[in-house]
Amino acid sequence: MAGMSPIFRRKAASRAPQDRLVTLIRKPGCHLCDDAAAVIEKVCAELGVPWEQKDIDEDPELHRQYWEQIPVVLVDGEQHTFWRVNEDRLRRALTE
């Protein structure tokens, strides 16, 4: 299949929502982080997607990379959004 034209290759099957991981990078006392957590919790509960929270103050690399964008949402380790989380956009990212 390596030599086959990209036109004829099948698209890789998308991952099931349960096989995804949403990560919220946040900091204490951040009201936007609390809002983001509420949206993530709702969408992930509906879809059966696991999610986790990481405190930017406990990880120097996360702090260096994201301190101006808190809260940051990662889907499978890739940045999905920052500041405000759109429920419909997150749901689409986890199901498409």
Neighbours of 52 (CB within 10 A): 11
Q: What pLDDT is recorded for position 33?
A: 98
Q: What pLDDT, on a 0 to 100 scale, did the predictor assign at position 52?
A: 98
pLDDT score recorded for residue 3: 54
Q: Strand pairing partners for 54?
A: 25
Position 46 scores a pLDDT of 97
**Strand pairing report for 51-55 and 78-82:** unpaired
- Asked if residues 54 and 26 have their Cβ atoms less than 8 Å apart, the reply is yes
d(CA 3, CA 71): 43
Cis bond before residue 71 (omega within 30° of 0):
yes
pTM of the model: 0.82
Per-residue pLDDT tens digits of the chain, which is 96 residues long: 455 454 444 444 467 888 999 999 999 999 999 999 999 999 999 999 999 999 999 999 999 999 999 999 999 999 999 999 999 999 999 998
d(CA 23, CA 67) in angstroms, rounded, equals 15
Phi, psi for residue 89 in degrees, rounded to 5:
-65, -40
